[in-house]
């Protein structure tokens, strides 16, 4: 038997998920729902563990695994579907000392069908042990039915129950939810006593309604261990085995070469020179995005020179951006940790496919975003236009960000919001060609 574990917190599609699991399974399954912080009517076939005070996914998974009747455990989110015969196929590959994951597909919540061309396969992690999609590793159509994968997300994976407990179950000291995929990837690949293999079953698809495209799936901020603390604890626990795993898969950005300088070779190209002697040439005339912006509103090489100088002067490592564009491509290539807010859902898939390292977030542009203390710098170039950017400026002004670059400061509407929210900020630089790029720095106090 397979015991399906579903952690749920304010989930609209919980019963639809349960119905799909039973419909597309061919063998015997049981469903265990860990219901957090709510009293909801749950499909009568499921066993329910109620937590009126939310304790988090790790606690819930361990508790559910403790009462599970099945030989196999399958973990899935409460807003998902599974392809037909999912249980038979995953169990077939889930042998001793293995963890098997499915392909994650973006699902349309209205039709409950997977969206064509939105399949996410391999996962890796970077030098800070943060999980990232790795579609460039291998195309799905070129894969065998079973492939090894470096890491996993927290959804759609199966493990034998005895192996789950041999590895210690979920480490509840790591927080409610965050780093769950990396935790289990390292447990399986790097365990000192029971090392195993992480496998991707490429003919099993887990449809997923993502919070970035749905108002019915809510993101929440769980208690978590910080990125640096998590990384240090994992290295302390697994040591050289992490390096051995890196050598096995050779992820592209494990060791990001520091940028030495950025120069403009011509008025159309930017050359990023790195400390290892390598160069990355960016053609400013290339169309990177399916953008509706007119050419004269794109970031120019003189804009970039000013923006880069500000990044260097303030040792910027992380940025929040309103309105993706060519700037996103440049910042991503520099290795800057970037979160980019976009109001056009139709563009998000293209962005994510081209730049999987960037955290693209769908936003309606009509409310402020809490970005307090998360970023070194902000870049405002959206939403498209200018009349509708008030909440971009307001979000930055109310945050702990101390440097902001405003791309279109010479537009009438943008001037209104700059004067309203940044009147007491000092000018850190302005494009000499008066294209509109303006850098502002927050005064002390």
182 and 40 both lie in a single domain: yes
Position 293 scores a pLDDT of: 38
Residue 254 lies in a domain: no
Q: How far apart are CA 318 and CA 299, in angstroms?
A: 19
Position 308 scores a pLDDT of: 80
Position 176 scores a pLDDT of: 79
Last residue of a domain, one of 214, 249, 284: 249
The boundaries of the domain holding residue 411 are 259-441
Per-residue burial over 157-185, b if 16 or more Cβ lie within 10 Å, else e, is: bbbbbebbebbebbbeebbbbbbbbbbbb
Q: 61 or 291: which carries more pLDDT confidence? A: 61
193 and 328 both lie in a single domain: no
Q: Which of 77-81, 156-160, 274-278, 372-376 has the lowest mean pLDDT?
A: 274-278
Q: How far apart are CA 28 and CA 97, in angstroms?
A: 22
In contact, 400 and 442? CB cutoff 8 Å: no
Mean pLDDT along residues 170-177: 86
241 and 272 both lie in a single domain: no
Position 175 scores a pLDDT of: 80
Confidence check: pLDDT of 433 > 90: no
Residue 145 lies in a domain: yes
Sign of CA dihedral 424, 425, 431, 436: negative
Write down the residue that tokens 């639809």 correspond to.
16
Confidence of residue 262 (pLDDT cuts 50, 70, 90): low
415 and 395 both lie in a single domain: yes
Confidence check: pLDDT of 295 > 50: no
Q: How far apart are CA 312 and CA 265, in angstroms?
A: 19
Confidence of residue 286 (pLDDT cuts 50, 70, 90): low
231 and 295 both lie in a single domain: no
241 and 371 both lie in a single domain: no
Confidence of residue 221 (pLDDT cuts 50, 70, 90): low
pLDDT mean across residues, the chain: 86
Confidence check: pLDDT of 377 > 80: yes
Residue 245 lies in a domain: yes
195 and 282 both lie in a single domain: no
419 and 284 both lie in a single domain: yes
In contact, 270 and 282? CB cutoff 8 Å: yes
Mean pLDDT along residues 390-399: 92
In contact, 187 and 61? CB cutoff 8 Å: no
The per-residue pLDDT for range 51-78, each reduced to its tens digit, is 888 888 899 999 999 999 999 999 999 9
Last residue of a domain, one of 220, 249, 278: 249
Residue 221's CATH number: 3.90.550.10
Position 265 scores a pLDDT of: 54
Mean pLDDT along residues 186-198: 97
Confidence check: pLDDT of 219 > 70: no
238 and 273 both lie in a single domain: no
Question: What are the start-end ranges of the E strands in 1-156?
Answer: 2-8, 29-36, 47-51, 72-75, 80-82, 98-108, 113-120, 123-125, 131-133, 146-148
Confidence of residue 289 (pLDDT cuts 50, 70, 90): very low
Position 241 scores a pLDDT of: 94
User: Which DSSP string do the residues of 129-173 spell out, in sequence order?
Assistant: --EEE-GGG--GGG--SEEE-SB--SSSEEEEHHHHHHTTS--GG
Confidence check: pLDDT of 302 > 80: no
Mean pLDDT along residues 282-289: 54
Mean pLDDT along residues 206-227: 76
The per-residue pLDDT for range 109-140, each reduced to its tens digit, is 999 999 888 889 999 988 889 888 888 788 88
Residue 101 lies in a domain: yes
Position 256 scores a pLDDT of: 53
Total structural domains within the chain: 2
In contact, 156 and 76? CB cutoff 8 Å: yes
242 and 304 both lie in a single domain: no
Last residue of a domain, one of 205, 230, 249: 249
Residue 275's CATH number: 3.40.50.150
Confidence of residue 152 (pLDDT cuts 50, 70, 90): very high
Position 385 scores a pLDDT of: 62
- Which of 35-39, 183-187, 210-214 shows the highest mean pLDDT? 183-187
- Paired tokens of 7: 């952690």
Confidence check: pLDDT of 297 > 70: no
Confidence of residue 288 (pLDDT cuts 50, 70, 90): very low
Confidence check: pLDDT of 274 > 80: no
Confidence check: pLDDT of 234 > 80: yes
Q: How far apart are CA 15 and CA 408, in angstroms?
A: 47
Position 69 scores a pLDDT of: 97
CB atoms within 10 A of CB 40: 15
Residue 356 lies in a domain: yes
Mean pLDDT along residues 305-333: 85
Question: What are the start-end ranges of the E strands in 246-370?
Answer: 259-266, 269-274, 279-283, 318-322, 337-342, 359-362
Percent over 90 (pLDDT), the chain:
48
Confidence check: pLDDT of 294 > 80: no
Mean pLDDT along residues 219-230: 73
- Which of 30-44, 190-204, 205-219, 229-243 shows the highest mean pLDDT? 190-204
Position 266 scores a pLDDT of: 54
Residue 69 lies in a domain: yes
Confidence check: pLDDT of 404 > 90: yes
Q: How far apart are CA 281 and CA 269, in angstroms?
A: 7
267 and 233 both lie in a single domain: no
Mean pLDDT along residues 192-220: 87
Q: How far is CA 443 from CA 15, 401, 422, in A?
A: 52, 11, 10
Residue 340 lies in a domain: yes
- Paired tokens of 305: 């020179």
212 and 320 both lie in a single domain: no
Residue 378 lies in a domain: yes
């Amino acid at each position: 038997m397979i015991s399906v574990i579903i952690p749920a917190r304010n989930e609209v599609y919980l019963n639809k998920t349960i119905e799909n699991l039973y419909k597309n399974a061919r063998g015997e399954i049981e469903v265990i729902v860990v219901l957090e912080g709510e009293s909801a009517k749950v499909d009568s076939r499921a066993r329910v563990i109620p937590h009126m005070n939310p304790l988090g996914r790790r606690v819930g998974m361990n508790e559910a695994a403790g009462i599970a009747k099945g030989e196999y455990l399958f973990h899935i989110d409460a807003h998902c579907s599974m392809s037909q015969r999912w249980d038979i196929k995953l169990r077939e590959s889930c042998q001793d000392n293995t963890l098997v994951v499915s392909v994650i597909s973006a699902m349309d919540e209205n039709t409950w069908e997977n969206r064509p061309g939105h399949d996410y396969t391999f996962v890796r992690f970077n030098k800070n042990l943060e999980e990232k999609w790795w579609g460039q590793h291998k195309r799905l159509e070129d894969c065998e039915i079973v492939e090894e994968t470096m890491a996993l997300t927290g959804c759609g994976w199966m493990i034998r129950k005895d192996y789950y407990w041999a590895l210690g179950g979920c480490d509840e000291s790591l927080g409610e939810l965050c780093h769950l995929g990396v935790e289990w990837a390292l447990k399986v690949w790097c365990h000192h006593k029971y090392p195993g293999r992480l496998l991707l079953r490429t003919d099993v698809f887990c449809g997923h309604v993502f919070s970035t495209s749905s108002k019915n799936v809510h993101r929440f901020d769980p208690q978590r261990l910080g990125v640096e603390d998590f990384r240090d604890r994992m290295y302390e626990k697994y040591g050289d085995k992490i390096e051995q795993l890196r050598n096995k898969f050779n992820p592209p950005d494990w060791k990001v070469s520091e940028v030495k300088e950025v120069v403009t070779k011509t008025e159309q190209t930017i050359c990023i020179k790195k400390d290892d002697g390598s160069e990355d040439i960016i053609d400013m005339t290339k169309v990177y995005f399916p953008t509706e912006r007119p050419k004269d509103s794109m970031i120019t090489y003189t804009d970039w020179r000013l923006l880069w100088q500000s990044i260097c002067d303030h040792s910027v490592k992380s940025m929040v951006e309103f309105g993706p564009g060519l700037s996103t491509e440049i910042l991503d290539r520099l290795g800057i940790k970037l979160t980019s807010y976009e109001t056009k859902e139709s563009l998000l898939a293209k962005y994510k496919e081209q730049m999987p390292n960037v955290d693209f977030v769908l936003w309606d542009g009509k409310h402020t975003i809490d970005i307090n203390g998360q970023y070194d710098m902000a870049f405002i170039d959206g939403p498209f236009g200018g009349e509708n950017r008030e909440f971009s400026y307001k979000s930055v002004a109310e945050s702990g960000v101390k440097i902001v670059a405003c791309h279109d400061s010479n537009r009438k509407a943008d001037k209104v919001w700059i004067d309203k929210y940044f009147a007491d900020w000092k000018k850190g630089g302005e494009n000499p060609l008066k294209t509109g790029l303006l850098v502002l720095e927050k005064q002390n106090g």
